[in-house]
Amino acid sequence: MGGLIDSFGRSISYLRLSVIDHCNYRCAYCMPNDAMGSRRADLLGAPDIVRLARLFTELGVSKIRLTGGEPLLRHDLPELAAQIRRLPGLADLSLSTNGHLLDRRAVRLRQAGIQRLNISLDSLDPTTFARITCGGDLIAVRRGIDAALAAGFSPLKLNMVVLQDINDHEIEQMSEFALSHGVELRFIETMPVGHQGARSSPHHYPAGKILERLMRHFGRDLIPLHAGKDAGPARYYRVGSEPLRIGVISALSQHFCDSCNRVRLTAQGDLVLCLGQDNSVPLAQALQTGCTDDEIKHVIRQAIARKPARHDFHNPASAPLRPMYSLGG
């Protein structure tokens, strides 16, 4: 019956699939210090995760990103990834991680079929990094980046959430780090998702200012690129003859909802239709009540038909209350 098309004609081909909502870091914009994550019994088990991933691919989803929390906290992640990678119709399997545990698991993840990695790296200064992550270990993350490069992940992307008066002075340094290590880089605006995100809003640093800094730093060598099919929400630039890209994601100051092709499945089995609105459909309930594959596909299609036109972070009636870590980013 064709792919997943919402009521605005957007083709939904990308699923962000959270496999756990626990994390070993407590980043200021994502996870409250006292958050514990769900009980393990409330998280989807591997068979249910694979089943739902299969149903989405049968409905036309060709790209899946495994997220968390911190997905590397799942000990069965390589086996889970290998099962998902074998699904017919899946063209791209990627993973988002904070990198802390990556040095010892990069090879196994690559062998499992994960093709691309996004690694969170908000600072190159150990003190600032520890402040943002509430005690995170920059050295461990740097080891993880090196291990990922050695394992052959391509492209390898770094994500830096830019925070006013905390790490915004590192924009130029982070750009040079990415270029020197042969990795792509994306600068991301903070988003007021959940109470924790709202508390980080005084540190919001708009994408326009990030771009101004990049233009001053690189001058005419900063060349805009046409958005490709895998560009997603980022506006990308090339630096001189370098083949790598630097991107800027402006979820708040300049939304990209018109081309949104994604939905999110939480670790508890809730289908979240929009990162910026607090609406979801409990697919776990359909699993628990013994629904057939066709019945669950019908629920998914009905949900996609209700996907909103765009987010509205400033509307209290629809603002997302779930914290970022529980949404899978």
Q: List the CATH number of the domain containing 184.
A: 3.20.20.70
pLDDT at 314: 58
Q: What's the pLDDT tens digit per position in 12-47?
A: 999 999 999 999 999 988 886 767 677 887 899 999
174: in domain:
yes
Residue 296 counted as domain residue: yes
Nearest in space to 27 (alpha carbons), one of 120, 158, 95: 120
Low-confidence ranges of the chain (pLDDT < 70): 1-2, 32, 34, 36, 192-201, 227-232, 251-256, 311-322, 329
List CB contacts of 84: < 8 A, sequence separation 6 or more. Answer: 17, 49, 50, 53, 64, 66, 90, 93, 113
For 101, the token pair is 């545990």
Report if residue 4 sits inside a domain. no
**pLDDT of 277:** 74
C-alpha span between 329 and 323 (Å, rounded): 9
How many domains does the chain divide into?
Answer: 1
The span from the CA of 234 to the CA of 2, in Å, is 28
Q: What is the pTM of this model?
A: 0.92
Q: Is the residue at 152 inside a domain?
A: yes
Q: How many CB atoms lie within 10 A of CB 315?
A: 10
In a domain, 89, yes or no: yes
Q: Is 23 exposed, middle or buried (0-12, 13-18, 19+ CB in 10 A)?
A: buried
* 3 part of a folded domain: no
* Range of the structural domain that residue 127 is part of: 14-327
Instruction: Report the sign of the C-alpha dihedral through residues 314, 315, 317, 319, in that order.
Output: negative
220: in domain: yes
Q: What is the distance between the alpha carbons of residues 270 and 268, in angstroms, rounded to a whole number? A: 6
- What pLDDT sits at residue 317? 53
Establish if 9 belongs to a structural domain.
no
With vertex at residue 12, the alpha carbon angle to CA 9 and CA 16, rounded to the nearest 5 degrees, is 150
